[in-house]
Amino acid sequence: MKILVATSRTQGARESDFNFCIDGELLWIAEPCATDAKRLPNSCGCGRAFAGLASHRATTTALVADLPMNFDEYSRAISASLQEQGWPPHWAAGIARDQTELTKQWQVGDVVERDLDMFTPRSA
């Protein structure tokens, strides 16, 4: 199944890059905070980031990977992470569905970056 995982590949290509995740860690795409969504000064960068399911940290680069898991396993991983972070775990199936749909447009091995609701490949 094609999903997004954290990667250090292409980190530093943009001056504003950051990576506090573990390479290969499953990611989810959280809604940006109000400060980032409005592009206010001193924003945290969450509108450019993907969130790690295990580390609960963030990265500006995601790798499209083909992992040996099915939708239910992916959804359960998201649910567990959401619960650990205090988010409603029932969001998991919708997040998993949206993200697997999103990854269909890219090839395995593509590195993707985010700018709010715009996602673009950096490299193949």
Confidence of residue 27 (pLDDT cuts 50, 70, 90): very high
H, E, C per residue of 40-52: CCCCCCHHHCEEE
How many CB atoms within 10 Å of residue 86?
7
Tokens for 120, please give them.
Answer: 């673009």
Tokens for 95, please give them.
Answer: 């997040």
pLDDT in tens, 99-123: 999 999 999 999 999 999 999 999 6
Residue 104 identity: K
In contact, 41 and 85? CB cutoff 8 Å = no
Average of per-residue pLDDT across 54-78: 97
